[in-house]
Structure 1
Amino acid sequence: MARRCELTGKGVLVGNNVSHANNKTKRRFLPNLVDVTLQSEALGRGVRVRCAAAALRTVEHRGGLDKFLMVAKDGELSERMLRLKREVTAASAPETPAA
């Protein structure tokens, strides 16, 4: 499983450990990923997501998973979240009466 946030696309960064003697060795900076279940009001069910802790704060700030997905750029979302975004869009769109 990739170490990448499904909502923001945040992934692993690479850098150096620098010792007091200025020796440099490669290291990895891992994102703080958490497994959570977020509720979708439009779909009426929970969705399991592996996302960064900072992304959770953003989801809460924007008013929930549905509103976060509507504003999110498609390039940042995972394939699974893109499918969910389409489902949410279809479920929340007002139904037009047949003429």
Structure 2
Amino acid sequence: MSRRCELTGKAVLTGHLVSHSNRKTKRRFLPNLVNVTLQSETLGRSVRMRISAAALRTVEHRGGLDAFLAKANDVELSQTARTVKREIEKKQLAETAEA
């Protein structure tokens, strides 16, 4: 499993660990990933994802998974997130066609 957020695309960064004597050794900056279950109001079901803590706060700020995916760029999303986004768009389109 890659260390990449499924919603924002945030991934591992590399840099230097700098000592007091200014020696530089390579290190990795890992994203703060958490396994969460997010509810989709449109689909009426839950979706399990591995996202960063910052992305979780952003999802809550935007008003849920459906609102976040509506604004999200497809390039940053994982394959499962893109699939959920397409399902939500199809369901919303079908609901507007019925009305």
TM-score range, shorter chain: over 0.9
Partner of 2:41: 41
CA RMSD of aligned residues (A): 0.9
Shift of 1:95: 4.3
Q: Secondary structure at the match of 1:27?
A: strand
Structure 1 unpaired stretches of 5+: none
Structure 2 unpaired stretches of 5+: none
Q: Which amino acid aligns with 1:96?
A: A
Partner of 1:61: 61
State how far apart, in whole Å, the 2-side matches of 1:36 and 1:81 are. 13
Partner of 1:90: 90
Shift of 1:96: 2.4
Q: Secondary structure at the match of 1:96?
A: helix
Partner of 2:77: 77
TM-score by length of 2: 0.94
Tell me the matched-pair count.
97
Q: Which amino acid aligns with 1:63?
A: G
Which has the larger helix fraction? 2
Partner of 1:20: 20
Identity %: 65
